[in-house]
Structure 1
Amino acid sequence: MIIQCTKSLLDKVGIKGNELASSEGHEQFPDSLMAWHANFVSINRRKAIILMNNETRYPIVIYRPSIKDFSKIKELIREAIMQALRMEGVRKEVIEAYLDKAGEISFSKTSSRSMVAKMNNTVREIEFMGTYLDEEAKIQRYISLVVGRLIQISGSNEGFYPFEKMLEYLGSISGIDIDEVLDIDLYQLKIQINIEGHDIWRRVLVPATYSFRHLHNIIQTVFDWQNYHLHEFVVERAENKPIKILMDDDPETLEYINIDEFDVRQERFVALEDIFPEYNEVMYEYDFGDAWEHTVTLEKVVKSKTFQATYLDGNGERPPEDVGGAGGFEEYLRIMDNEKHPRHQDIKAWAESQKERKLGPEKINQRLNRVTSGSGFSTIVI
């Protein structure tokens, strides 16, 4: 494997000119798959090593490397590649086969201006998605999932997604179909809204490496919540203080949390597999005013070759947004059941924009694919 470095990175690694490999001959497959361009940059005022695969433009980030890390940079790069691809659900055997074929890491200068331009574009994309950089982690788990799903254009060729191209070429060099590249644990989760006297729930399959930010987007989608309000996850533990997983990009949420009472974590950087199956149940609260509590229960683990969330089934219509909590929901139902009630028409008109839309499984799964393959959440139904 060749790492084609900018001068700034070569200086940090301490590689001298006579130790460099040739920078030529790594532009065409399969050699291009075994080569990565790399730069040493500042992002969010933090130093980072950015790697971009020559063939697929798949990105990997090593964040805030220490002086000591540069002495073992080869091991760190291999581990970063391993972790990033495992987060994508790539089989361990496929990753190991790739690393074996790529061979011992050597370093060279960057090659063409074209490759440097592509690498610089990858750096800009990582800067743009910088909120997915975990200050506490050296090897970044989630930035590759996000930036690897930004469409890339190369000349007059049709656009492509780096993660899809990476899976395709890993299959190619392994001699297997793309479906066989993946080995994914899916968590079957039942999500129940806790309202006495009502049985309102949804069942979904979710990749174990998805973050709790992904899970938030999934819950919002399958219940057709509108994402108007704050939310949080809580994991109760018998012998330790509860884990509180927060939407940490909201400053007020972090400002008022009691860190002595809770083990506080950031939802963008906590994988479902960090919590499940050690803990079988998680509480999710949406809208701290109406206080809609959801119990998220792990029912079973399913093996899959598809890295996506899937809606399975559900029951009951969720309360309208801003209805006033459980008491307001009961009042709403009484008025809606009585056409002669003086407020019936007004409440019916109000509820049109607040209640759950009637969406079939196919449409829900189309929305799930959008909100979990990208970086954000949208209420738009196409």
Structure 2
Amino acid sequence: MLIQCTRKLLNELKIDPLPYSDEDPLFCWHANLITLNRRKSVVLVNDKNRYVVVLYNLKAKDFKKLDEIIQEGICKTFLAEHIKEEVVEEYMRKANGIIYAKTKDKFSVARMNKSCEVVGYGEDLLKDRSIFQTIVSRKTNRYFVGDGRGGYIRPSEEMFKDLQEFWGKPIFGSKAVKVKAKLELERHNVWRELIIPLNMTFREFHKALQIVFGWRDYHLHEFYIYSDEVYKNRDYKPVVRLVGNEEAFDVPTEIETKLERDIVLSEYIPHYRKLKYIYDFGANWQIYIDVEDVTENYELNHPVCLDGEGDAPPEDIDGETAYENFLKALENVKAPQNFVVRIIAAARGYREFDIAIVNNELKWYCV
């Protein structure tokens, strides 16, 4: 594997680069040393498809073993994309270690610098304790970038195509479950049916639910997972509460609480088949989720919405009564406030359920 370093990175590594040699561009990366949140970081950009891998908060001891860290970072990022382990292993075997060289040319450096700029957009998502920033890497790879021919590409999509060609078979594969997610409303029937790969994290599942119900992740959320055991003669017994931020641990509860971020669905599903997702604690939107079926070999790395009905309330609507008033104002075109309500609805992303739009967003934005 050829790692073509900027002068800054070569100086940090204290090495002399080897002469540049032509290799398969799929195994060639440009690398730059940048600062993210005042911490030294390395951004790798693939020569063939502009796919990005971010290594963060590197110390002096880390630069002494950067070979290992680069290889582990590429592996972890590919696995976070839900690429099969055997594909990742074969890619690393074919890469055959690391050779450091100078940057190739000004064009490649310019492309790398643009990727570094995009990485900076995700600084708020950086995990302080981890060198391997798979979430920031994956989000960066969903942005459109120029292809050098007047068009645009998504680096993630291009890398998936290149790895598929390299492997010669589907690069994704996992168990999946079909679930029905129903928003609890008294006067409206709002539900979605999805198929979800079980190697997704609950953080990604949260993103999927935001997409299918048309929300924008403005508010806090949490998951409850239930056993089939009846709890206090009125409900199913909660097994665990999964939360999206550490502040949620300040809320006292008898239920075991964990951060959802790195917990994979298969740790709990399909062993447990009933879940509840609560979003916006002020409005208290509650979505009941039932696991309906299991698929053994699912060849996508993202969820798919199979069916659905009804429109969910937009952001910042404080409960079902407020939603009823919102709908009345929206439907009454003669009302003075109708124009304002329509502007508010558009600003908050309110729209009729459209399965084609939803599935396009599920493909790219469950990160």
Separation (CA, whole Å) in 2 of partners of 1:94 and 1:143: 22
User: Which stretch shifts more, 127-136 or 314-323?
Assistant: 314-323
> Residues 76-132 of structure 1: CA distance to partner in whole angstroms, max 9, x if unpaired?
211111111122222222222221111121212222111111111111010023233
Structure 2 residue 298 is matched with structure 1 residue 304: yes
Give the alignment of 1:194-273 within 5 angstroms: 194=184, 200-208=190-198, 210-212=200-202, 214-224=204-214, 226-227=215-216, 230-235=219-224, 243-246=241-244, 258=250, 263=257, 265=259, 269-270=261-262, 272-273=264-265
Number of aligned residues: 342
Alpha-carbon distance in 2 for matches of 1:163, 1:186: 22
Unmatched 5+ stretches in structure 2: 228-237
Residues 5-29 of structure 1 deviation map (CA, whole Å, 9 limit, x = unaligned): 12332233332x2xx3222424xxx
Aligned twin of 2:358: 367
| Match in the other structure for 1:189 | 179
**SS class of match (1:186):** strand
Identity %: 26
Is 1:21 the counterpart of 2:18 in the alignment?
A: yes
Cα separation, 2, equivalents of 1:345 and 1:70 = 61
Q: Structure 1: how far apart are the matches of 2:63 and 2:162?
A: 29
Alpha carbons 2:226, 2:274 under 8 Å: kept: no
Partners of 2:198 and 2:265 within 8 A in 1: yes
TM-score normalized by structure 1?
A: 0.74
What is the distance in 2 between the residues matched to 1:228 and 1:171? Answer: 33
Code of the residue aligned with 2:127 in structure 1: it is D
The root-mean-square deviation of aligned C-alpha atoms, in Å, is 3.9
TM-score by length of 2: 0.76
Unaligned runs of 5+ in 1: 249-253, 336-343, 377-382
Q: CA deviation at 1:348?
A: 5.7
Deviation at 1:307, TM superposition (A): 2.6
CA shift for structure 1 position 73: 2.0
- Specify whether residues 273 and 242 from structure 1 end up closer, same or farther in structure 2 by C-alpha distance, changes over 3 A only: closer
CA distance 1:263–1:71, change in 2 (3 Å): farther
Quick check: 1:218–1:368 contact (8 Å CA) kept in 2? no
Aligned partners of 2:247, 2:208: CA distance in 1, in Å?
A: 26
When you count strand as a share of all residues, which structure comes out higher? 2
Q: Partners in 2 of 1:67 and 1:274 — Cα distance? A: 37
Which amino acid in 2 is paired with 1:368? N
CA–CA distance in structure 2, aligned partners of residues 324 and 259 of structure 1: 21
In the other structure, the counterpart of 1:48 is: 41
Structure 2 counterpart of 1:22, one-letter code:
P
Secondary structure, in 3 states, of the residue corresponding to 1:42? strand
Deviation at 1:66, TM superposition (A): 2.8
- Decide whether aligned partners of structure 1 residues 322 and 112 sit closer, same or farther in structure 2, where only a CA change above 3 A counts: closer
Structure 1: how far apart are the matches of 2:163 and 2:178?
28
Deviation at 1:237, TM superposition (A): 8.7
Establish whether residue 313 from structure 1 lines up as the match of residue 307 from structure 2.
yes
